[in-house]
């Protein structure tokens, strides 16, 4: 067999070494910058969402709370035993179910 027709022998270790060199941390950070992302260390701590900013407080008082009050007659209600309280709703009106989340579930593993 002619030596020119033989494929070069490539080892798994050689492939692994080339991939590791090609995917360096420096290259990843350079691509992040090129794509418009900023590189920074993640710091431990509880996320503060700015719920006491003036614009957020104004939205809550002037938009959100009045809207919730207008929807309250259409919402289902439960008692302390989590039994649905019977209410009459308008014809062809489905009752609304208000679904919330508690932020402590997101912060339960912090610290």
* Segment 94-110, tens digit of pLDDT: 889 888 876 666 555 55
Query: Is 74 in contact with 95 (CB distance < 8 Å)?
Result: yes
The number of domains in the chain is: 2
Residues 27 and 61 in one domain: no
Q: How far is CA 59 from the centre of its chain?
A: 23
CA distances in angstroms from 75 to 9, 68, 70, listed in the order given: 71, 10, 10
Asked if residue 44 belongs to a domain, the reply is no
42 within domain boundaries = no
The answer to the question of residue 24 being in a domain is yes
Q: How far apart are CA 14 and CA 8, in angstroms?
A: 12
Question: Is the domain of 68 the same as that of 96?
Answer: yes
**Full-prediction pTM beyond 0.85?**
no
Segments forming the whole domain that contains residue 23: 3-34
pLDDT in tens, 66-83: 999 999 988 999 899 989
Do the domain assignments include residue 110? no
111 lies in some domain: no
| 110 Cβ contact partners less than 8 Å away, ≥ 6 residues apart | 44, 45, 46
d(CA 52, CA 60): 10
Within this chain, do residues 99 and 64 fall inside the same structural domain, yes or no? Answer: yes
């Amino acid at each position: 067999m002619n030596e020119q027709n033989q494929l070069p022998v490539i080892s798994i270790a050689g492939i692994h070494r080339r991939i590791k060199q090609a995917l360096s941390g420096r290259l990843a950070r350079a691509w992040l910058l090129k794509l418009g992302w900023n590189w920074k260390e993640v710091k431990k701590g509880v996320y503060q969402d700015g719920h006491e900013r003036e614009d957020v407080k104004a939205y809550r008082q002037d938009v959100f709370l009045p809207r919730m009050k207008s929807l309250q007659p259409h919402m289902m209600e439960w008692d302390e035993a989590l039994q649905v309280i019977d209410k009459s709703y308008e014809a062809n009106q489905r009752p609304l179910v208000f679904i919330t989340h508690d932020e402590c579930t997101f912060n339960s593993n912090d610290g």
